[in-house]
Amino acid sequence: MAVTLTSHHRMPHAAGIGLRLPHLAEVTATLPAVGWLEIHPENFLANPHAAELLIELSHHYPISVHTVGISIGSVEGIDKAHLTRLRALVDAVEPVLVSGHLAWSTHEGAYLNDLLPLPYDEATLRLLAEHLDRVQDGLGRPYIVENPSSYVALATSTMTELEFLNELVHRTGCQLLCDVSNVYLSGHNMGYDPYPFIDGLPAGAIAELHLGGFTPEEDEASPGSEQQLYVDTHATPITEPVWALYAHALRRFGSAPTIIEWDSDIPALATLLGEVARADAVGAEVRQEPQQQHHAHAH
What does the binding site for Fe ion look like in residue numbers (CB under 5 A)?
Answer: 179, 210
How near is the Cβ of 216 to Fe ion at its closest, in Å? 18
How near is the Cβ of 226 to Fe ion at its closest, in Å? 28
Comparing CB distances to Fe ion, the nearer of 53 and 132 is 132
How near is the Cβ of 66 to Fe ion at its closest, in Å? 8
Residue partners of 242: CB distance under 8 A and separation at least 6: 180, 181, 184, 211
Comparing CB distances to Fe ion, the nearer of 267 and 294 is 267
How near is the Cβ of 201 to Fe ion at its closest, in Å? 15
Comparing CB distances to Fe ion, the nearer of 53 and 115 is 115
Dihedral angle sign, alpha carbons of residues 19, 22, 28, 30: negative
Comparing CB distances to Fe ion, the nearer of 53 and 143 is 143
How near is the Cβ of 261 to Fe ion at its closest, in Å? 5
Comparing CB distances to Fe ion, the nearer of 42 and 179 is 179
